[in-house]
Structure 1
Amino acid sequence: MNDRTLPEAVLWDMDGTLVSTEPYWMAAEIALAARHGASWSEEQALELVGKDLVAGAAIYQARTGIGGAPEDVAAELQAAVMERAAVSGAPWRPGVLELLARLRDAHVPCAVVTMSWTSFAHAVAGAAPPGTFATVVAGDEVTHGKPHPEPYLTAAERLGVDVTRCVAFEDSLPGVASAMASGARTIAVPLAVDVPAQPGLSRVGSVEDVDLDTLARVVAGEDLDALSHVGTG
């Protein structure tokens, strides 16, 4: 469509959306619990996907009995994830780099909006081609983490754009809630957890299924649900 109106910006969650690092977080949580003689299952780990790191760490501690400040536990978990990513890489989800390149060519700014902290967020963002991301909003830079809208509102403010004219990509329930509450048009790309259908939410199986025309349709108000026919809603 030659007359398309593209989003003013595209706002990207990181873990599970840009990069497939959720298994690293789960492994770190299970390993830390084991070192303290506690148990932690993958099912329990899935409950923390998308949550603010400190809030998630507090839940984790309450269920495992691990002591200390939640901030310290969150920092220890992130350090383990970063070490794993340094060794094994942080694999980009299919279609992500290609869509980021199209947005860069179209002069649509992109932001990372993540609950991971600054050190990891900038490491991932910095692995993309230069000029890909105009700003990074990390979990330790906001007062209220996801599902609160502050992270997405902060990204839009930094970019100088109207959040309601932005498209956000998310993979988790807390992330979708945060993006939608901010007013951003939201596309869910589920990975570790199911994201049920709801009014105002678009869903796709892969970023490979999204092009600039898709983004123009979503920011214009269309709800596109490519997952309803496969029974994920």
Structure 2
Amino acid sequence: MDGTLVDTEPYWITAETDLVESYGHTWTYEDAMTLVGSGLWESAEVFRSRGVDLPADDIVQLLTGRVRDRLAKDGVPFRPGARELLKELRALGVKTALVTMSIRPMAEQVLSHLDFDAFDLLVTGDEVDNPKPHPEPYLTAASLLGVSISDCVAIEDSRAGLASAVASGAVSIAVPHAVTIPEASTHTTWPTLAGRTSTDVSAVFAASRSEGLSR
């Protein structure tokens, strides 16, 4: 969600910086980038190690609360092409799942700004035992959708998210945003979703599976 569907990273960075600085310490842009795509509770432990004297649950609640306030006040900044591609896939009857390490209430808040039924289900960071980069979130989504993970395409913007998708066995597309993602044979890289259609997604899937059969 964050970075692929919507550009909420600036909201997170501001919330993180304010939190760390309130305890007399420094949090840089580079620090923030190391947490892109990570689980919230794992990130909370990083903040604790940087001097934030709060339980992990309180850190998660505080940060998500501040980001949700920004979403309510300043709106939801959707990434170029994301809504259009998702809407087309839905019109074609393609099953979809939102796999995010944000908490469910935040994901539902973001999705309330879409004027169509975007996802069959959500898998969120407060509902999995092992967050990204572990494959559990994507494997859970496929299981709940009633499909094989090998029949799925995952679209990710972060290194942790992409690692989760690749490890799960899904055909994976990287659309880097806040952080760079090295190109590799494990995934396809697109610079943006703008102008991308279901035909492009199908072509990536077909090429990946064809390559797998030829090995």
Code of the residue aligned with 2:166 in structure 1: it is M
Residue in structure 1 matched with residue 127 of structure 2 by the alignment: 141
Say whether residues 1:60 and 2:47 are aligned partners.
yes
Say whether residues 1:45 and 2:32 are aligned partners.
yes
Code of the residue aligned with 1:124 in structure 2: it is V
* SS of structure 2 residue aligned to 1:221: helix
Residues 6-47 of structure 1 show CA distances to partners (whole Å, capped at 9, x for unaligned) of xxxxxxxx0000000011101100011122211111110000
The counterpart of 1:36, out of the listed 16, 23, 30, is: 23
Question: Aligned ranges for residues 47-196 of structure 1 at < 5 Å?
Answer: 47-63=34-50, 65-196=51-182
Cα distance in structure 2, aligned partners of 1:105 and 1:127: 18
Cα drift, residue 129 of structure 1:
2.4
* SS of structure 1 residue aligned to 2:154: strand
The counterpart of 2:204, out of the listed 180, 201, 218, is: 218
* SS of structure 2 residue aligned to 1:220: helix
Say whether residues 1:21 and 2:8 are aligned partners.
yes
Residues 101-155 of structure 1 show CA distances to partners (whole Å, capped at 9, x for unaligned) of 1111110021110000111011112322232111011100000000000111111
Instruction: Kindly indicate whether the alpha-carbon contact (under 8 Å) linking 1:168 and 1:187 is maintained by their aligned counterparts in 2.
Output: yes
* SS of structure 2 residue aligned to 1:136: strand
Residue in structure 2 matched with residue 3 of structure 1 by the alignment: none
Cα distance in structure 2, aligned partners of 1:61 and 1:123: 27
Cα distance in structure 1, aligned partners of 2:5 and 2:96: 12
Instruction: Kindly indicate whether the alpha-carbon contact (under 8 Å) linking 1:147 and 1:177 is maintained by their aligned counterparts in 2.
Output: yes
Further displaced range: 140-149 or 68-77: 68-77
Q: Which runs of 4+ in 1 moved over 3 A?
A: none
Aligned length, in residue pairs: 209
Further displaced range: 165-174 or 120-129: 120-129
Cα distance in structure 2, aligned partners of 1:125 and 1:168: 18
Code of the residue aligned with 2:23 in structure 1: it is H
User: CA-atom RMSD, angstroms?
Assistant: 1.2
Choose between structure 1 and 2 for higher RCO, CA contacts under 8 A separated by at least 6 residues: 1
TM-score where L is the length of structure 2: 0.94
Instruction: Kindly indicate whether the alpha-carbon contact (under 8 Å) linking 1:112 and 1:125 is maintained by their aligned counterparts in 2.
Output: no
Further displaced range: 126-135 or 163-172: 126-135
TM-score where L is the length of structure 1: 0.87
Cα distance in structure 1, aligned partners of 2:168 and 2:115: 28
Code of the residue aligned with 1:158 in structure 2: it is L
- Structure 1, unmatched stretches of 5+, are 1-13, 224-233
* SS of structure 2 residue aligned to 1:147: coil
